[in-house]
Amino acid sequence: MRHEASRRPRVVGELARPVFFVGFMGAGKTSVARRLARTCGVASVDMDTYLERREGKRVKEIFAQAGEDGFRAIETDVLRELAGKEPLLVSCGGGVVKRDENRAILRDAGFVVYLKVTADEAKSRISDTSTRPLFQDLDVARKTSEERLPLYAEVADLTIDTAGKNVATIAREVQSALEKEGILCLQRK
């Protein structure tokens, strides 16, 4: 079986523009971007991980030291930086849409995929909610999710309802849409 797989043509993809994944935490942004990156031979980055490496601190430490406004300022700087790089798949933090400036960067710099999920479904997907302060109180998570819905919709070029779908299915839907839009070009080598 392994031998046969090595004979399959390797897929090499190219992105015409950056692709930004937005949505509430637990929507599958990072998982879908990684799956798509592997399948299509393109680069992906998780914005929060990139931000943590760049700053040398965890997101929760930045929040604790600089507050939400301080974190959001760094997040905007990182978003601008990633938007200016060679096009790649970027999984954004759930709150990236809160700032007007970020929504403008998302709209102007790339193609935005909104992975839609309810707070209840998101909670069921997250195995360890201790790293997700919003999920310490499901009512707060629901309220936050509802507040962000119009902001996600505002920036979205493509909206995919993730309810009841696995990562592979969502990644295939995104891939198909990106190819149709001319954002993703694939070559078999």
* 132 in a labelled binding site: yes
* 27 in a labelled binding site: yes
* 13 in a labelled binding site: no
From the CB of residue 38, how many other CB atoms can be counted at a distance below 10 Å?
A: 12
For 67: left if phi > 0, alpha if psi spans -120 to 50, otherwise beta; the answer is left
For 26: left if phi > 0, alpha if psi spans -120 to 50, otherwise beta; the answer is left
DSSP-based three-state secondary structure for 122: helix
Torsion angle of C-alpha atoms 50, 41, 25, 162, degrees rounded to 10: 170
* 31 in a labelled binding site: yes
* 17 in a labelled binding site: no
* 30 in a labelled binding site: yes
* 46 in a labelled binding site: no
* 148 in a labelled binding site: yes
* 29 in a labelled binding site: yes
> Treating both helix axes as pointing N-terminal to C-terminal, what angle do 100-109 and 138-155 enclose, rounded to 10 degrees?
50
Instruction: Look at the chain and count its residues.
Output: 189
Compute the Cα dihedral for 125, 127, 131, 133 and give only its sign.
positive
- Which tokens belong to 179? 């190819």
How far is the C-alpha of 100 from the C-alpha of 109, rounded, in Å? 14
* 120 in a labelled binding site: no
* 37 in a labelled binding site: no
Binding-site residues for Mg(2+) sit at: 30
Binding-site residues for ATP sit at: 26-31, 132
Binding-site residues for substrate sit at: 48, 72, 94, 148
Binding-site residues sit at: 26-31, 48, 72, 94, 132, 148
